């Protein structure tokens, strides 16, 4: 896979700390004026203190993670970072999308207040999308806003949820309906964490990688499909290249439209159907990436029925989704059931869902669609 000029080597002549690796660190800037920050991508990033130490030195630090990582990798992170903090605490959240709610968000606030954390404190989100979203939302709210750093441990978080400042929690009626825009100070996307991901989690992350190609770069989508065997085994070079290119695409869109007033909505390709599936099935039954993969099957069917993409273009997208070992069949609900869940999607207007559609592979836009053609598209994806 290739990367354009938006990505640069952090140390152009210096390989990763693993002398057997051929990968280099990459830096993708997210250009947002005073809120700008870098995404740093590579292996063993914690060993390179020049990247992160200026942000941590002498501050109260709270490492927020989940119970699974607390027993696996969090001790390594704590041992490296804690000596640089004025004080250091660790907050372990339950693991799973079904815990992304007000009740468990309070665990973060309770710990910060108990340890008398002030407005100069720094939160570190070490985990997947749930930990990142909840930590970011807590940082946006605590004492009206404190700094945080994303250390995403899953592929989905590295290519999507850790970038762009969307934070929040779920409501029983809809996913991510309560939250805030709050940008991190730094994203450390260490691809070494991906080596221990279960296959299902890796596939879920590849859904967002595929999405970025579908909406912005057909050649990238074709490269992802060609490199799928390497990506499924978390090959270091393939992963660094994929994470970097996906982050470039997302950073460019976020730089144009930070608060999703218009252009940024294209990043939700597959998500209108996907969020409906997640909420309707119960959070955690489908992983987010699995729901997005199925949602892209449905959104591409809708795009083809509207004459926006060809059968061949859709087949290329479906081939990538299938190669990533993602589910291809939607829950067998009525159109009315889908509309019930989609009516509370954040892109909806007055309860009417709007859909991100493909205008050929590599381009996307958003619009409402006629219910009759929506009905036909949904039924086609249930067969």
Q: Which residues carry out catalysis?
A: 144, 166, 208, 250, 260, 264, 268, 271, 275, 288
Strands 26-30 and 37-42: antiparallel
Lookup result for tokens 């750093």 = 149
Cβ neighbors of 318 (< 8 A, separation 6 or more) are: 297, 300, 328
Report the b/e string of 227-255 with b at 16+ CB within 10 A.
bbebbbebbbebbbbbbbbbbbbbbebbb
Q: Name the DSSP class of 58.
A: T
> What is the spatial distance between Cα 169 and Cα 246, in angstroms, rounded to a whole number?
24
**In a 3-state reduction of DSSP, which class is residue 287?**
coil
**By C-alpha distance, which of 279, 286, 263, 269 is closest to 355?**
269
Cβ neighbors of 96 (< 8 A, separation 6 or more) are: 130, 283, 284
What is the full DSSP assignment across 147-213? EEEEEE-SHHIIIIITSS-EEEEEETTEEEEEEEE---SEEEEEGGGGGG--HHHHHHHHHHHHHHH
CA 148, distance to chain mean position in Å, is 16
> What is the spatial distance between Cα 359 and Cα 341, in angstroms, rounded to a whole number?
25
- Provide φ and ψ at 118, rounded to 5°: -100, -170
Note whether 267 and 215 are within 8 A (CB): yes
> What is the spatial distance between Cα 270 and Cα 65, in angstroms, rounded to a whole number?
28
- In angstroms and rounded to an integer, the radius of gyration of the C-alpha atoms of the chain is 20
């Amino acid at each position: 896979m290739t990367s354009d000029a938006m990505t640069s080597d952090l140390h152009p002549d210096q390989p990763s700390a693993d002398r057997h690796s051929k990968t280099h660190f990459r830096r993708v800037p997210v250009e947002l004026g005073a809120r700008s920050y870098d995404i740093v991508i590579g292996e063993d990033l914690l060993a390179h203190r020049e990247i992160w130490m200026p942000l941590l030195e002498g501050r109260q630090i709270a490492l927020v993670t989940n119970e699974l990582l607390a027993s696996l990798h969090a001790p390594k992170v704590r041992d490296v970072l804690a000596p640089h903090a004025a004080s250091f605490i660790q907050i372990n959240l339950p693991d799973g999308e079904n815990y992304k709610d007000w009740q468990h968000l309070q665990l973060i606030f309770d710990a910060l207040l108990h340890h008398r954390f002030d407005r100069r404190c720094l939160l570190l989100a070490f985990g997947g999308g749930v930990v990142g979203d909840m930590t970011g939302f807590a940082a946006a709210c605590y004492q009206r806003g404190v700094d945080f750093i994303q250390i995403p441990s899953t592929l989905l978080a590295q290519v999507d949820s850790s970038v762009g400042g969307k934070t929040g929690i779920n409501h029983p009626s809809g996913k991510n309906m309560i939250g805030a825009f709050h940008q991190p100070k730094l994203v450390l996307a260490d691809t070494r964490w991906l080596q221990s991901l279960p296959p299902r989690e890796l596939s879920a992350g590849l859904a967002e990688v595929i999405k970025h190609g579908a909406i912005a770069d057909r050649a990238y989508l074709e490269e992802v499909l060609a490199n799928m065997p390497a990506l499924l085994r978390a090959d270091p070079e393939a992963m660094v290249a994929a994470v970097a290119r996906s982050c470039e695409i997302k950073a460019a869109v976020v730089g144009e439209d930070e608060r999703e007033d218009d252009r940024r909505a294209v990043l939700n390709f597959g998500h209108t159907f996907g969020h409906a599936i997640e909420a309707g099935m119960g959070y955690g039954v489908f992983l987010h990436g699995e729901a997005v993969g199925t949602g892209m099957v449905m959104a591409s069917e809708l795009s083809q029925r509207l004459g926006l993409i060809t059968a061949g273009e859709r087949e290329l997208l479906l081939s990538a989704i299938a190669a990533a070992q993602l589910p291809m069949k939607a829950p067998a609900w009525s159109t009315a059931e889908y509309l019930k869940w989609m009516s509370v999607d954040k892109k909806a207007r007055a309860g009417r869902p709007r859909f991100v559609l493909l205008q050929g592979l590599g381009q996307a836009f958003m619009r409402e669609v006629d219910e009759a053609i929506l009905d036909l598209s949904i039924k086609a994806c249930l067969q």
